[in-house]
Chain A
Amino acid sequence: MSARFVAPVLMGLFMLALWEGLVRAMAIPPYILPGPILVAQTLVSDWGTLWPALLVTLSITLQALVAAVVVGVLLALLFSLSRWIELSLFPYAIILQVTPIVAIAPLIIAWVDDVSTSLLICAWLVAFFPILSNTVLGLRSVDRNLLDLFDLYGASRLRTLIELRLPAALPYFLGGLRISGGLALIGAVVAEFVAGSGGRASGLAYRILESGYQLKIPRMFAALVLISVAGIAIYLLLSLLSHLLLRRWHESALSEE
């Protein structure tokens, strides 16, 4: 075990112990601040409500991420084919990106009948821009000399795209994907907060709101823990994917020797 793992784990355990100790010593009531042990107990006892809620949030996140990849990459390809399309559309992509999702979410929820579709649209809006802008950058960051070489051997535009531009853009795309994975989750949670929908298909954000109203603060913390764990898991999975795809050739995936 290297210090890379031991140090943060020890630090984490220490902070948890400090938290538990303070809560007990100062006799803080659980509806103000529950201790970590109580949060863990709630996580187990309320698993029946929390697990389906986690699945709902994760499903929206995943769908939004897939939609962000499809639309982001397709738009990037379109931009790389035509300077005119890029010039006319890119400013609007930026406007979508800089407008806070909390501000547009009520509109989208009002316009779209189906709640889960509107949540999906919100999460997608937040997630797609990093993929678009990174992929556009990647498709353009091709070695000029290699482009000349393809030209010299009479390669068609499509051929150049497949054999040269796409592989050259891959590290950039994967960088964008890692950012978008986290953003999709944030988008899904924020939109759900705004929508505040009840019923069967409620995600973790709704459980947090509900627990707040009912002063079930330990459950709120348990839901928060699940959101954090989900975010970390998404990041780690996308990092692993990136590592597997790039380890043979890209500088970013080189192990320290």
Chain B
Amino acid sequence: MKLVGLSDVSKVFASGVQALGGASLDIAAGEFLSVLGPSGCGKSTLLRLIAGLSEPSSGMIEWPQGRPDIGFVFQEPTLMPWTTALGNVALPLTLRGEAKSEREARAAEALAGVGLKGFEKSYPRELSGGMKMRVSIARALVTAPKLLLMDEPFAALDEITRRKLNTDLLDLWQRTPFTAIFVTHSVFESVFLSQRIAVMSARPGRVRSELAIPAPYPRTEAFGTSAEYAALCRLASAQLSEAMAA
């Protein structure tokens, strides 16, 4: 069932830069989709358009079942330094005017869900980069959104932390029913995480090709070292080179 469809979406900024040039993409409810492309190809713009943070210059964005609740994870943790992990995670509920006890209970639950039980009262500066990103994910999931948008969320983290977060993100996705759109410039990350990869061309960005990743979940370290994974990475890599050359 289609959750959201983009048809021939373009975006030209006031500066005259054309970020997207006729991007078309359908996203099915419940799937894990990666958007793979070189930096500056308009991946982030695509995500912002889907989130409704910006309007397309032309083209259509359709929501056949209506616009759902959306969670957004930025490239940086984007936490408010003046409040605790719990306060940060509770923010979406605060903005909706939910009662204090209710939002604290739900925020604590979301924090536990990303493995940060016991860090409710910690301030962002007391947390490591990976933990801050976990808080950011918990905040995006606290409203139990149908759609989770992630804009290169782990790009600034070290390899070991990134691997752990990748596995934990898949865990969360299997436990909770949400659709995930994950923007990345890493071939390995996109193959490891997703069911489908949309490969974008250089600016003005459009979706050049799509690649299905048929491997079953749960995907573990073993999948990351398998021959199947290596072959899929080669395939995705080739498509990315093709898209960039086009």
Contact = CB atoms under 8 A, between A and B. Distances in A.
A170 B74 contact: no
A130 to B, nearest CB: 22
A143 B124 CA distance: 15
Contact of B95 (A143, A150, A250): A150
Number of chain A interface residues as a range = 20 to 34
A213 to B, nearest CB: 53
Contacts of B95: 150, 153-155, 159, 163
B12 to A, nearest CB: 20
Contact of B92 (A153, A170, A248): A153
Interface in A218-257: 248-251, 254
B51 interface: yes
Contacts of B91: 149, 153, 163
Contact of A248 (B51, B72, B123): B123
Contact of B82 (A150, A153, A249): A249
Contacts of A151: 53
Interface of B: 48, 51-53, 70, 72, 74, 76, 78, 80-83, 91-92, 94-96, 123-125
Interface in A149-174: 149-155, 159, 163-164, 167-168, 170
Contact of B72 (A152, A164, A170, A250): A152
B53 A148 contact: yes
B74 A250 contact: no
A146 interface: yes
B124 A152 contact: no
5 contacts: A145-B74, A148-B51, A149-B74, A155-B95, A249-B123
Contacts of B48: 148
A153 B96 contact: yes
A143 B78 contact: yes
B167 to A, nearest CB: 25
Contacts of A168: 82
Interface of A: 143, 145-146, 148-155, 159, 163-164, 167-168, 170, 248-251, 254
A168 B81 CA distance: 9
Contact of B78 (A145, A154, A155, A170): A145
Contacts of A163: 91, 94-95
Contact of B124 (A146, A164, A170, A249): A249
Contacts of A250: 81-82
A65 B92 CA distance: 37
B123 A152 contact: no
Q: Which of B70, B82, B123 has the most CB of A within 10 A?
A: B82
B81 A249 contact: yes
Contact of A152 (B51, B82, B83): B51
Given A151-B53, A152-B52, A146 B94 contact: no
A251 B124 CA distance: 11
Given A145-B76, A145-B78, A153-B92, A251 B51 contact: no
Given A149-B74, A149-B78, A149-B91, 9 more contacts: A145-B74, A148-B74, A150-B95, A151-B53, A153-B95, A167-B80, A249-B83, A250-B81, A254-B125
B72 A249 contact: no
Nearest to B96: A153
A254 B91 CA distance: 25
Contacts of B53: 148, 151-152
B126 to A, nearest CB: 9
A146 B78 contact: yes
B125 A164 contact: no
A122 to B, nearest CB: 36
B82 A170 contact: yes
B119 to A, nearest CB: 15
Contact of A249 (B70, B94, B96, B125): B125
Contacts of A248: 82, 123
B72 A148 contact: yes
A152 B145 CA distance: 12
Which of A151, A159, A170, A249 has the largest number of chain B CB atoms within 10 A?
A: A249
